[in-house]
Amino acid sequence: MQHNNINVSYENEPSRDPDFTVNYKAPFNAEPRQDVLVQQFITPTEKFYVRNHAPVPDIKGESYALKVDGLVGNPLILSLNDIKNKFEKVTINASIQCAGNRRTMMSEYKKVKGVGWGIASLSTASWSGCRLRDVLEYAKAFTKNEGALHAVFWGLDFGCPEDNGKPYGSSITMEKAMDLDGDVLLAYDMNGEPLTRDHGYPLRVVAPGIIGARSVKWLDKVTVSSQESESFFQRRDYKIFHNGVNWDNVEKYWDKTPSLQELSIQSAICIPAPNSTLYLPFTITGYATSGGGRKVERVDISLDGGETWDYAELMGEDKGVCNKYWSWVLFKYTITKLPQLQNKDHQKIRLVCRAWDSASNTQPKDVKDIWNLRGVMNNSWHFVDITVLNQSVKNKL
């Protein structure tokens, strides 16, 4: 296949869950059904959303080698066995969320460019591997005062059309990488099994609390640097431009606009689906998550489009051994009565959710206030329009 003058082959892709909603076929981008997403706290691996920018490389664990170089006293080449045997194995639960989650809703307000994601481009897994911090200490990474400011990652997936066929790359700060409570892993297991090809076999970064784009899969190299990654995906993409930036003037803003790191506060209603017709009682189910390890403290539900609110019940919060909150919470809210329905056959209502975190961050009401050219970080109030039928109508049928 040829796109943007780059020849790439998608003939050797792994098999995938037929139930996925495929948002883009090649490179493969898919999310689970939203009702399936919130069935479990830990997402089964085959249901975990997939966000690829290029063909999936086919890497053999036996010949794999991770390079560590740059501002280090002891450059390294490590085999998969070295990584498993030389460093302590750590397991954390963490959600990964794409910065493009809920882009389709932003596009409904005003068209944006990018893969059209619904509300399910995030998932939660139990990840095992070694700490990036331990590897960087072993490599004798320089300190901040010596100029070591960024941990730069390169993947082994060549052919990203946006970046002229270069491999995918990204970086995080050394502050995050070296933070004892930062929990950045070089993960080789997902939900107790070796990573699957789609999720980065044999080794990937899991950088919890920050946008999924920084959790580089099929990890080739870690370079300690004074500069951010030079990758397109760090310097050009995954940035929130203000709403006056368009495709004619964007170049002027590339360097001025910071690259995204920590995620913001987010929530969405997964059940019921938009435009459902229901009888009372019924239960709303969804997810809420925040960035930087901040705890989701509260999810508010409105049955009247955001005029009045009540608290949802939070379920399934499991921060495991971590000191911070890296995983989503699932929430539910059961509606047994609807005053608006009295003496009527049916009532159309707008369900809304919004979450709050431990820094009192909450979601903006309107998507138009955060609209941006690339459609990233849409965390506006999530709403679902439904029709509720009166029970007496059901009895008459």
Closest approach of Cβ 114 to ligand MTE, in Å? 10
Report how far apart, in Å, the C-alpha atoms of 362 and of each of 8, 107, 295, 302 are: 42, 22, 12, 15
Closest approach of Cβ 50 to ligand MTE, in Å? 4
Which residue lies nearer to ligand MTE by CB, 53 or 382?
53
Closest approach of Cβ 392 to ligand MTE, in Å? 46
Which residue lies nearer to ligand MTE by CB, 140 or 197?
197
Among residues 229, 211, 98, 239, which one has the least CA distance to residue 171? 229
CB atoms within 10 A of CB 221: 19
H or E segment and range at residue 108? helix 103-109
Which residue lies nearer to ligand MTE by CB, 302 or 379?
379
Q: List the beta strands (DSSP E) in 116-206.
A: 122-131, 150-155, 169-173, 185-190, 193-194, 204-206
Which residue lies nearer to ligand MTE by CB, 131 or 199?
199
Which residue lies nearer to ligand MTE by CB, 115 or 386?
115
Closest approach of Cβ 289 to ligand MTE, in Å? 14
Interface with ligand MTE by CB under 6 A: which residues?
48-53, 96, 98, 155, 157, 168, 199, 212-213, 215-218
Structural Rg of the chain based on CA atoms:
22
Which residue lies nearer to ligand MTE by CB, 157 or 183?
157
Which residue lies nearer to ligand MTE by CB, 98 or 135?
98
Closest approach of Cβ 370 to ligand MTE, in Å? 19
Cα separation, 16 vs 30, whole angstroms: 10
Closest approach of Cβ 188 to ligand MTE, in Å? 14
Among residues 124, 50, 122, which one has the least CA distance to residue 94? 124
232 secondary structure, DSSP code: H
10 secondary structure, DSSP code: -
Closest approach of Cβ 153 to ligand MTE, in Å? 8
Q: Tokens 């009565």 appear where? A: 337
Three-state secondary structure string covering 31-95: ECCHHHHCCCCCCCHHHCCEECCCCCCCCCHHHCEEEEEECECCCEEEEHHHHHHHCCCEEEEEE
